[in-house]
A = this chain, B = another copy of it.
């Protein structure tokens, strides 16, 4: 099983990245195999022929579980994250489980992961169990802020990943 984290914060090494890594760890019990911090790619993320970025798209697409994380800009995910997602094939760009995660300054945009990020992930083939997760960013380092969502979502993730593991063996 391989897992990845994709972070759409324009600033590198953000709280968004910490939160995404925490979610991946809670769902799988170990560190993600791949961390794509989009801010570190520079302008290559805009170049559709860039081989390094295309390789990242392939690796993320083949992962068994991917956490897609973004701060909330204009009540939805960032343009930076969408620029990267635009490179995935419609329908089968993702082959595994996809987790929508967004952080914001207040509760006002809590519906954004479910209503705006999730449909993009299902459009490119992701299987999204449970609800998208929204966190108040000041609580990003408080495990209690994740607990209810994790306990509600992990059973479905286990079922989906369990099946993949048995078919791999």
Contact = CB atoms under 8 A, between A and B. Distances in A.
Interface in A103-138: 106-112, 114-116, 119-120, 122-125, 127-131
B124 A74 contact: yes
A84 B82 CA distance: 12
Q: Give this chain's copy count.
A: 4
Contacts of A80: 46, 79, 83, 86
B46 A120 contact: no
Given A43-B46, A74-B123, A110 B107 contact: yes
For A77, A112, A125, A159, the residue with the greatest tally of chain B CB atoms inside 10 Å of its CB is A159
A111 to B, nearest CB: 4
B75 A119 contact: yes
